[in-house]
Amino acid sequence: MTTQPIVQLQNLSKIIRGKQLISQLNIDLYPGQITGFLGPNGAGKTTTIRMMTGLMHPSEGKVIIDGLSLQENYEEAISKVGVIVENPEMYKFMTGYKNLLHFARMHKNVTKDRIQEVVNQVGLEKRIHEKVSTYSLGMRQRLGLAQALLHRPKFLILDEPTNGLDPAGIREFRMYLRKIATEDGVSVFVSSHLLSEIELMCDRVAVIQNGKLIDIRDIHSNNSSFYYIEATPNEQAVSLLQKLDINFVSENSGYVVEIQKEDIPSFITNFVNEGIQLFAVQPHQKTLEDQFLEMTGGGQIAEANSK
């Protein structure tokens, strides 16, 4: 990527009472991109986010935000950051609008026009003058998003953002996040212990385990060399795959095979020549769960109720 990163974690480390909680994290985050931060429980996500928001001082390394060191230029660097924590605190008996007015006073230069702009961005224009107590959970999360955007941050951190939302609610929230990332070029960093949440919301995932970055990759890239096939008779298909020296595993009523796209025509010809019927040859998208297991070597997957 040629664009400059908006946030850089450089050799970020934390040691508390002789215990290395975070080891030399190097992560670059880019404008317009939604990056997930995923790891088993206790991997170090909260500790990292605390350092990224200036709540904890790193033992070594730096957090650079838009070219400024968070440790050396705290005020200016933090003014470029918006944070949404799990279940944002709102005044339930005030309207959404009054809540935003209240939070706007905490920043310099947030005009009423800007408030209206963020209200539109999160799709709350019809209900903004109603009390927050009448809002659904999804609307409250969107109000939290509007609040975090008031001062036009270039970087948005969401810590476990959709707790309690159902998949439809997560998708809706993702749609608004995507709009903000694309239209305003905001870089979004989403910490979660839920694989499904990261999969639904993010373009990219950074995985940590035991305080170390173990992988960072695009999650929806389509250059897979895995295909799902269904063939009959089964035994003949298996011996052909073995004869052709193709890696495969059973899945549902077929197999996932590892072949390159350009080899598909000759692959099909081989089946036809052997009199084996093929009912499906389709790209097999590995789920994030598959990828996560691959990255962590079968490490524990944090599940929805494990917190």
Note the residues at the interface with ligand ATP (CB under 6 A).
16, 19, 21, 39, 41-47, 193
Cα of 189 vs its chain's centroid, Å: 7
Comparing CB distances to ligand ATP, the nearer of 82 and 211 is 211
The answer for residues whose C-beta is within 8 angstroms of residue 78's C-beta and 6 or more apart is: 53, 54, 65, 70
SS3 79: coil
Q: Tell me the closest approach of the beta carbon of residue 40 to ligand ATP, in angstroms.
A: 7
CA atoms within 13 A on the CB side of 14: 22
Q: Tell me the closest approach of the beta carbon of residue 294 to ligand ATP, in angstroms.
A: 20
Comparing CB distances to ligand ATP, the nearer of 68 and 216 is 216
Distance CA 72, CA 170 (A): 36
Q: Tell me the closest approach of the beta carbon of residue 59 to ligand ATP, in angstroms.
A: 12
Comparing CB distances to ligand ATP, the nearer of 23 and 95 is 23
Q: Tell me the closest approach of the beta carbon of residue 288 to ligand ATP, in angstroms.
A: 16
Q: Tell me the closest approach of the beta carbon of residue 173 to ligand ATP, in angstroms.
A: 20
Comparing CB distances to ligand ATP, the nearer of 17 and 105 is 17
Calculate the CA dihedral of residues 158, 163, 169, 170 and round it to 10 degrees.
Answer: 50
Comparing CB distances to ligand ATP, the nearer of 121 and 192 is 192
Distance CA 132, CA 97 (A): 9
Please, are residues 47 and 56 in contact by the beta-carbon 8 Å criterion?
Answer: yes
Please, are residues 155 and 136 in contact by the beta-carbon 8 Å criterion?
Answer: no
Dihedral pair phi/psi, residue 13, rounded to 5°: -140, 150
Comparing CB distances to ligand ATP, the nearer of 16 and 55 is 16
Calculate the CA dihedral of residues 190, 194, 200, 202 and round it to 10 degrees.
Answer: 30
Q: Tell me the closest approach of the beta carbon of residue 306 to ligand ATP, in angstroms.
A: 8
